[in-house]
Amino acid sequence: MKEIEKIKFSIKKEMELFEGKFLKSMNSNVPLLNRITHYVVNRKGKQMRPMFVFLTAKMLTNGKINDKVYRAASVIELIHTATLVHDDVVDSSNMRRGFFSLNALWKNKIAVLVGDFLLSKGMLLCIDNDDFDLLKLISKSVKDMSQGELLQIEKARRLDIDEKIYFEIIRKKTASLISSCCALGASASGVSKDKINQLADFGEKIGIAFQLKDDLFDYGNKKIGKPIGIDLKEKKLTLPIIHVLNKSSKSKKRWLINCIKNHNNDKKVVKEVIEFVKESGGIDYTISKLKLFQKQALDSLNSFNDNQYKKSLSQLVNYVIEREY
């Protein structure tokens, strides 16, 4: 049994019920939309975000969850799927999870509209059930993700990003949605605002660590879902190279910036940059930061009662950090 399946075991029934509810939440009377959404559902990922919703809720209630928790999980997955569809358009990406992306099959116009449809479905699911607490949390996350993406695009053009700005980008672009997973699971369970905020902070730390791990894949040797060197080719400055830029001599800094700005599509140059970042401690520094956020996230669970769901939640945190793809 794969590690992710072992972690899912304590919420196996909920995840099975969720899949039916999630599919139903995307229903439309437009045949084209239904064909496309079925294509999306049949090529689902690991579904880690709904897992965070269910495990957070069950940890707080010792296993008792309500319909609102299922709606929270569906909202998260609808919004997440919408952002992936839009991301593929923004990045001109033709592949997603080893399959053709929506924009590759149906072109950008339809892909953008499908993303908008999924986004609106997520919002309406909250409104139709008077889940205004969930709507407030997820709306903030959508705002943060949009701002983070735009900030990254702006900085990629100017290549003037430092570590503080980098963490602001990933906090908004990636961590905000995982933070919302935990906050929605808590809010749907009816706990206090303090606990909701505490679990939102827990999710944010996981989200930052998740992005740091993703950044490291750019410098790996294994063939995974993310092509090696893709961030450099897209002129995205991630923590490994930001750290190296900050500690390099002026001449090396000029060389690095020139490589990223003018030779980002040259495979030989990209390989040279990757090797230089590795030799200069960029990978080790990023791993140390990743481990710090992992520890902070796990430590923040200490104030909650021990049960099997808390244990599974801790295992999910470690899986997110230690995964190989």
- β-pairing, 99-100 with 95-96? antiparallel
Confidence band, pLDDT 50/70/90 cuts, at residue 224: very low
Q: Which of 173-177, 191-195, 321-325 has the lowest mean pLDDT?
A: 321-325
Does 226 have pLDDT greater than 70? no
The single-letter code of the amino acid at 304 is F
Element (H, E) at 209: helix 193-217
Q: What is the DSSP letter of 121?
A: H
Expressed as residue numbers, the domain containing 99 is 3-130+137-322
Does 23 have pLDDT greater than 60? yes
For 217, the token pair is 């894949």
Half-sphere exposure of 270 (CA within 13 A, CB side): 18
Long-range CB contact pairs, 31-40, < 8 A, 24+: 32/110, 33/114, 33/117, 36/102, 36/106, 36/110, 36/114, 37/114, 37/118, 39/102, 39/105, 40/81, 40/85, 40/102
Could you tell me the pTM of the whole model?
Answer: 0.94
Does 223 have pLDDT greater than 60? no
Model confidence over 119-155: pLDDT tens digits? 999 999 999 999 999 999 999 999 999 999 999 888 8
Give the span between the Cα atoms of 88 and 99, in whole angstroms. Answer: 12
**Number of separate domains in the chain:** 1
In 69-194, DSSP assigns E strands to: 95-96, 99-100
Long-range CB contact pairs, 93-100, < 8 A, 24+: 96/43, 97/43, 97/45, 97/225, 98/225, 99/43
Model confidence over 32-91: pLDDT tens digits? 999 999 898 888 788 999 999 999 999 999 999 999 999 999 999 999 999 999 989 988
Find out whether 195 and 295 touch, Cβ atoms under 8 Å. no
Give the span between the Cα atoms of 202 and 167, in whole angstroms. Answer: 16
CATH number of the CATH domain containing 37: 1.10.600.10
Confidence band, pLDDT 50/70/90 cuts, at residue 94: confident
Q: Please enumerate in sequence order all residues whose Cβ is within 8 A of that of 25, keeping only pairs 6 or more positions apart, or say none.
A: 74, 78, 121, 125
